[in-house]
Amino acid sequence: MTDASTQPMLGSGLEIRPFAPDDVAEALRLSQQVGWPHRSEDWALALAVSEGVVAFDGTRIVGTACCSRFGTVALINMIIVDEAMRGRGLGRRLMAAVMDFARGSEMRLVATLEGLPLYEKLGFRATHRIFQHQGIAQTATPELPVRVGSVPDVVRLAEMDHAASGLDRRALLQRIAAQGEVLLAERGFALLRDFGRGRVIGPVVARDAAAARSLIAEGMLRNAGTFLRIDLPEAAGLSDFVTTLGLAHVGDGTAMVRDPGPRPAGDITTYALASQALG
């Protein structure tokens, strides 16, 4: 997505309207167009915890945007503009719509290189990089004991997640746990679910790196030989570790914030994201 003015500006016939369930098929076409791996089920998970809008040109959907509010923080995500419509201000209009949903909240997003200039113009500032790793998972041995949890554990885990991220995501974590797997260590937890070409590990939340490595290693062990993805905040320091387990570094995103609130305090850290869209 770009906000360049190399093409004529949008006409009055373009409609920005709420995202409806029937729009998922067209949204999936757009995410495939930009090379994102989302399935319709992945879109459905995002929309279950989000407000969204689409841009409709009278015949088809040519843009999407979502806002996921988790307590005092709103995550702006799934910003996609059809390739035939880029450079005409549509990205700015979509952002204006979802930023209105987020009014009064801290706003966060993970930017692509193409979207970065627009987000900077809208008042977002870069905070750190997100490293995307993926590949065929190899067998690993956890340093510390890891056991399987269940949906009822999420009440406690959501408090830990909130302490790490500032996000109140109990409803999201419950949905992920119901669809996937919960892994528990003495000092942390991880969730696994189907996503895109295979599965994803995240979030991974822990009090120290040893617990985080153990949870990731257990996820690798349970999915050895299958395609796996993980998204790591740069400060987590686990990029080299997951590379040794078969998940290559394939790309970066830029985490950005607007109107930031107080930072979480304490010794709990998010070592891997649920997704770049959902934090």
Query: Which amino acid does the sequence have at 197?
Result: R
Is the pLDDT at 248 greater than 90, yes or no?
Answer: yes
Please report the pLDDT score of residue 210 as a whole number.
98
Token readout for 141 is 């041995």
Any idea what DSSP says for residue 4? Answer: -
Pairing label, strands 51-56, 227-233: unpaired
Please report the pLDDT score of residue 11 as a whole number.
56
Q: Which residues contact 4 (CB under 8 A, 6 or more apart)?
A: 86, 87
Is the pLDDT at 4 greater than 90, yes or no?
Answer: no
pTM of the model: 0.94
Q: What is the dihedral of CA 275, 19, 27, 260, to 10 degrees?
A: -30
> Average pLDDT, stretch 229-235?
97
Please report the pLDDT score of residue 12 as a whole number.
58
pLDDT digits (tens, 9 = 90+) for 173-189: 999 999 999 999 999 99
Name residue 189's beta-bridge partners.
184, 205
pLDDT digits (tens, 9 = 90+) for 196-229: 999 999 999 999 999 999 999 999 999 999 999 9
Query: Mind listing the domains of the chain with CATH numbers?
Result: 15-123 (3.40.630.30), 131-272 (3.40.630.90)
Confidence of residue 5 (pLDDT cuts 50, 70, 90): very low
